Amino acid sequence: MNIWLPFRLVAATAVTGLMLTACGSSGEPPTASGSPSAAPRTSSPSQSPATPVPSATAATTPPGTRAPTTPAPGGSAPVLGSGSLQPLWPFATLAEAQAWQRDYRSGGHQPWHLDPDRTALSFTQGYLGFRDIGRISSRSVSGAHARIGVALSGPEGGTAAIVHLVRYGTGPDAPWEVVGTDDTTFSLTVPGYGSIVRSPLVTGGRITGVDEGIRLQVRQPSSGALLGSSCCSSAGGNDQPWKQSVSFSGARDPVLTVVASTGGHIAEVERFTVTAVRTG
């Protein structure tokens, strides 16, 4: 996994009303445009009723997954931003996550933050903008860690990515936070997870596939606009290296998301991988 968390702690009074891109007033996860909508579907694009999500025992992360992050001993909640794990989305800081907890305890605000499936799909569709990826393909929850496979909404195509989430904060109502992806046939290993970066950014990893075109994005949770993008690097073969650079500007959040995606066979985005980098 390319994790895919220094914190800027702000006073609780300053963040109580700060509800990020992910926290609209309707209590629902954001769509790709950033506005709240109905919960992400796990069915076809026709918006038919959602199919049941497999239980943690029925569907787990596929074997052979490479995961740079290691679950905390005993399954306890890890300390995000400590170096081993970085907060990508939906909360940029622990103070923001705690502000949501207070609002949830007082009025049930934004309950979807307690659902790792909905958080993973909202991250994919709303934050990354990959709207065709709307189905849960696998699910493994163990203590403070969840690994949720996301796939194309239709019947074609396998798992696009396995999104790694952890509980952010303490207590049974600590919200789920995306910290990266667990990678198999498509990885993003450069820059190193949690490293400090500047523009232009050189990225790279390994890929298995045929006639792949790799697109890059640099994002931050406090804004809907891309900080930078780059397209497209040709790649393919069996576990072959790939390399591409991307320039970005306007970074103000402590942690940024670097996204690599590929597709074009049956959908624009069929696989993706993310990693976390820091701005200083």
Give a yes or no: residue 253 inside a domain: yes
Could you tell me if residue 17 is inside a domain? yes
Q: How high is the pLDDT of residue 63?
A: 31
CATH of the domain at 109: 2.60.40.2550
pLDDT reported for residue 81: 66
In a domain, 5, yes or no: no
Is the model's pTM score more than 0.85?
no
**Neighbouring C-beta atoms of residue 22, cutoff 10 Å:** 24
Is residue 90 a part of any domain in this protein?
yes
Within-domain flag for 6: no
Q: How far apart are CA 139 and CA 21, in angstroms?
A: 25
Q: What is the pLDDT of residue 66?
A: 34
pLDDT of 78 reads 59
Give me the amino acid identity at 280: G
Asked, for residue 3, whether it belongs to a domain, the answer is: no
Could you state, in chain order, the average pLDDT of each consecutive group of 10 residues for the chain (280 residues)? 37 33 53 38 26 31 34 49 84 94 94 97 97 96 96 90 96 96 96 96 95 94 94 89 96 96 92 95
Residue 198 has a pLDDT of: 95
Residue 100, in any domain of the structure: yes
Residue at 122 is within a domain: yes
Query: Looking at the 3D structure of the chain, how many domains does it have?
Result: 1
Residues spanned by the domain of 167: 12-278
Quote the tokens at residue 140.
């493994």
